[in-house]
Every structure is written in C-alpha cells, then in structure tokens.
Structure 1
C-alpha cells in the first residue's frame, strides 16, 4: 500500500514538473518573438520535441468580447539546446472561440516528408459545441513545411474528423460522421508529394438508449496537389 502511494505521489510530481517546464518554455519563447505573457491563451498553448528541435504553438489573444475570443497563431520552431528560434509562422486571426469552442491543439509527433528537402509538421485543432439538439465536433489539420529558416503553411484547416447530428436533446436522432486518414504519395506536383485522404463516412440513427439502430457506411477518396504555395483539391 505504501509503495502504491509513493508511486502515485511520484507520478503527480513528475506531471507537475513537466507542466511547469512546458509553461516556462512557452513563456520564454513568447518573449523572444515579442509576445507578452498576458496575451498568451495558455489553455491551448503546447509544444512537441523532435530530433531536430522543438515546435511550440502559442495562441495569441488579439481580440475578445462577450462570448468570443479571436487568436493569432504563432508556430515557432526552436533549437533543442539553445532555445534559439530557427523558424516561425505567424497568422493573423487564424482561430476563434465562440459558440463553437476549441477544445485543444495537438502537434503530431510524426514528421511528413513532402520532398527530399522539405518536411512538414502537422497541427490538429479540435472543435466542439455544447448543443444537445445539434451536437457538433470537428478535427482540422494544418501542415507547416520547414523550408530553410522559414515555416510555411501549406495546408490550412483541412477537416479530418467531423460529427454532427439532429436529436431530440437526448440520444435519439440522426447523425453523420467522417473520419479521414492521410497518405503521402510517391507522385509529385510542383516538386511536392501529393496527399491522399481516405474518408470513412457513417450515417446512423440512434434510439433513446444511445444504441445504433441503423447505420450505413461508405468510403470516399480525395487527392490534394501542391500549387502556388499550398495544397488544393484539383478534382
């Protein structure tokens, strides 16, 4: 019993230490790029370590009012050892929180190789509302290509997952759900790999006990090609 309690306390200690170190890293990086700590929307700020550096996401409050917040995006790549800024992307009013909230921002730990010289970081934004009659959630993907000392956004807010429905405010209702997987292809457009998305779509009905009583599924495919600095659907 004593060893179990010790293990729990150690786990809590290391979790708190990790959170404090992450917050310190975010604040130090914000200062380097001219962002005041008071303007950081800390709940969504995050970081991810890679072999060649650390990617840090700092949402910066640019406007707020009753029931809404608008955020600038700051995607910053720093040196593992020195903390020096190696590359940066800043977007004006990229994200907003209102009736649809941002639950979290997640950096994928995987890098995507777009050509021999270019790798991309993947950022996922998780959205949802609190509506019982019309529930909604969405996960959107953005890709940031590391090109020399620049980070360039090559894919913006591409929907990877979505869920929406119409209900009687409990569980009974009709729902539509999309879930996509991305593949980097060996075909190229303008020297960048094409991206293939496989979308699993489910249309369903649920009863009062939240059980599916009817469901139809199908798959669709979509290929995005690189043109003029970003990925587009050329279909």
Structure 2
C-alpha cells in the first residue's frame, strides 16, 4: 500500500509540475506577443538563476511536410515582479528537417565574460535518423546580459559532433569531436577570450559494435570578441 501511495503522489507531483511549467511558458509568451498556438512546446524550456528565470520559447514561423522553421525567443524574467528584464528574438533561427533538433538545454552555470557582463549558455542537440550515415551534434550559443538586452555573442558553435559511414549496422568508420570550453583571463574588446580544447577520435567498429581501431588527437581553438560576436582566431 505504501508503494502505491508513493507512486500516486509522485505522479500527482510530476503532473502538477508539468502544468506549472506549461503555464509559465504560455504566460511569458503572452507578455512578449507570441500566440499560444505558435509555441513549439516540445523544445520550450526554462532554468532558474540568482538574477531571474531564463525561458526559451521556440515560435513556429513555417511548417510543412517534413520540415519546420522556428523563431527563437530567449527571455529573462524577474522572479519578484514577473516582468521581462531582458530578451533576445531571432527570426527563423532553428530548422527542423532531415537533421532535427532533439532537445534544447540551458546550462545551469553563467559565463563571466567581463567584470560586469555574464552570459547564458544554450545547447541545441541535433541528430538524423540515417543508418548508413549517422550524424549528431551539440551546438553552443552564448547570450550576454547587457543592461536590459540579451545579445547573442556566440551562435551555434559545434562543441560535439559525431558522424560515420556504416553498412547500416555498427560496422563502419566514425569521427567524433568533443570540445571543452575555457574562459581565459585575456581580453579582446573588453570581452574574455575563449579557448576550446577539441578531443578528436577516429575509429573503426566491427559488426558487434566493438572498436577495432582507434586514433586520437587534440586540437586547440581560440575565439575572440569582435564587432558584437566571438570569431575564430586565424
């Protein structure tokens, strides 16, 4: 009986939490002029911080047979007043097609880009459904809080990629990149430089999905802030 009661209360608690999350997203959408029917709920999410709650609302811009295009809305709410503190909106930012967006995730940490400016990290997880050519990626975008605005200073930077050529099972050749970010104590145009350590693995797998050959290497990549965004250093 205790186990049944525990399951019941957990189910009620989860359902209540989902309803509250949906209400928060819909109420925020109304505040910034997004129609409820245009919210792509599957990818909407939020994360609480000390300075407010960051809410991501993908808005359907176009949709058709096998594809969709979404406007991006990144909104920072004041937890005490419920008012919008800052926001960013991008037109036709996110695409759903052969390579779909599986999930959008807000990083729980802030990036300190200067003495006064912090940035929120947003990760987009992509994948396709191809057996002969599997592909997945994770892309990082950074949104800097500057006064009452959120400015996108890094857009869709790949921090993880995986691709391969197979015989439609496990057997094949694969390439994987995994980048770790470090905020440096050197600055360009008053914004901290970014360093990415890229761990690269080239591998072959047999029919049992076992790695039979592996080659690894490491590369460094540096980004500097210039004209409102981070760019590769050549």
Aligned match of 1:178: 177
Structure 1 SS opposite 2:108:
coil
Deviation at 1:6, TM superposition (A): 2.6
- Aligned Cα RMSD in Å? 0.8
Deviation at 1:182, TM superposition (A): 0.4
Name the stretch that deviates more: 166-175 or 14-23. 14-23
Aligned match of 2:27: 28
Once superposed, which parts of structure 1, at least 4 consecutive aligned residues long, lie more than 4 Å away? none
Structure 1 SS opposite 2:198:
strand
Aligned match of 2:116: 117
Distance 1:214 1:9 in 2: 50
Deviation at 1:83, TM superposition (A): 1.3
Deviations along 1:75-121, whole A, 9 cap, x unmatched?
00011122100001000010000011100000001001000110000
Aligned match of 1:131: 130
Aligned match of 1:153: 152
Match status 1:45 vs 2:57: no
Structure 2 SS opposite 1:111:
strand
Distance 2:100 2:77 in 1: 29
Structure 2 SS opposite 1:38:
helix
Deviations along 1:169-206, whole A, 9 cap, x unmatched?
00000000011110100000000000100111000000
Distance 2:42 2:30 in 1: 18
Aligned match of 1:75: 74
Distance 2:51 2:33 in 1: 24
Aligned match of 1:7: 6
Deviation at 1:19, TM superposition (A): 1.3
So what's the TM-score if we normalise by structure 2?
0.98
| Equivalent pairs, count | 234
Distance 2:19 2:62 in 1: 27
Distance 1:165 1:20 in 2: 40
Structure 2 SS opposite 1:59:
strand
Distance 2:209 2:26 in 1: 44
Distance 2:79 2:184 in 1: 30
Match status 1:89 vs 2:97: no
Distance 1:51 1:168 in 2: 50
Structure 1 alignment gaps of length 5 or more: none
Deviation at 1:15, TM superposition (A): 1.8
Deviation at 1:10, TM superposition (A): 2.4
Distance 1:8 1:202 in 2: 43
Aligned match of 1:205: 204
Aligned match of 1:18: 17
Structure 2 alignment gaps of length 5 or more: none
